[in-house]
Structure 1
């Protein structure tokens, strides 16, 4: 029987805690600090590994929704390569999403790059009305996506307002943190 990912991560943590960390000399605080960081990351990966696909699917949804909203802001703008590229990317999105989290992430990054390029055009070539529309849409996206990221990395324990955050389950399984609602 092959060990599952959770078991493998647990074994890595156990080896680090029981064998490697005790072998680090006391006069090497940097190595001890790095080992503690590794243990923290392994604990976070243990919690997240089975949810990565859902997290990436939500991130892609939010980025795509932002892209559609930005395109809707462009009425009356002259054609631009950035606008054409973003529209083409949205039109060419696969009907069936990739089956891996890394596949979803690759699409999110590609759409995100095109969104960034359209925003640059908006602020260098468009009028105030368009800049205001873009700013409003980006802020709405950022409020939701940043909250998703804060929840995702909550286990680090470094968020000063952690108590105001929803749960990982809520973030992954509800539409509360999605721009334009449901994932369909």
Structure 2
């Protein structure tokens, strides 16, 4: 029998609650704090189990959509010709880290036209909001953020 991730995580949480936490002395507040963080991470992992690849795919989709829209906005802008070509090449290679750097190079080009700067600022803000909301929803089980009023769940954002 190969135990599921859910069973393994539940076993870890039980071991912490029943064996480790009671063994921590009262004069060890840092140890208690770290155990609490560990419990929070394990509980979040239980809730997130199986969604990791879908979240990474959604992050790629958001970045590649931004890159494609920036390429459209950069059409005909001579100052962006080189960085646009680099972005096209990286986009085809599906390398998320390289695409992020290529998009950054386009956005940071101070020689770009005013129309590109205006369009790219709007596109970047739209991307940032969607990416931030995905991250906020992903880490909601950790309690890093305030109330989730109006924030779509990870499932809703992936759907």
| TM-score, length-scaled by structure 1 | 0.80
Deviation of 1:110 after TM superposition, in Å, equals: 2.4
Alignment of 1:156 with 2:142, yes or no, is: yes
Report the equivalent of 2:65: 65
Between 79-88 and 50-59, report the one with greater CA deviation: 79-88
Mark the runs of 5 or more structure 1 residues left unpaired by the alignment.
94-106, 174-184
How far apart, CA to CA, are the structure 1 residues paired with 2:59 and 2:106?
19
SS in 1 for 2:50: helix
Report the equivalent of 2:128: 142
Q: Which runs of 4+ in 1 moved over 4 A?
A: none
Mark the runs of 5 or more structure 2 residues left unpaired by the alignment.
none
Deviation of 1:35 after TM superposition, in Å, equals: 0.6
Number of positions where the alignment pairs a residue of Structure 1 with one of Structure 2: 158
Report the equivalent of 1:7: 7
More helix by share: 2
How far apart, CA to CA, are the structure 2 residues paired with 1:17 and 1:147?
32
Report the equivalent of 1:182: none
Alignment of 1:172 with 2:147, yes or no, is: no
Structural mapping, 1:1-184, within 5 Å: 1-78=1-78, 79-93=80-94, 107-121=95-109, 124-173=110-159
Between 13-22 and 161-170, report the one with greater CA deviation: 161-170
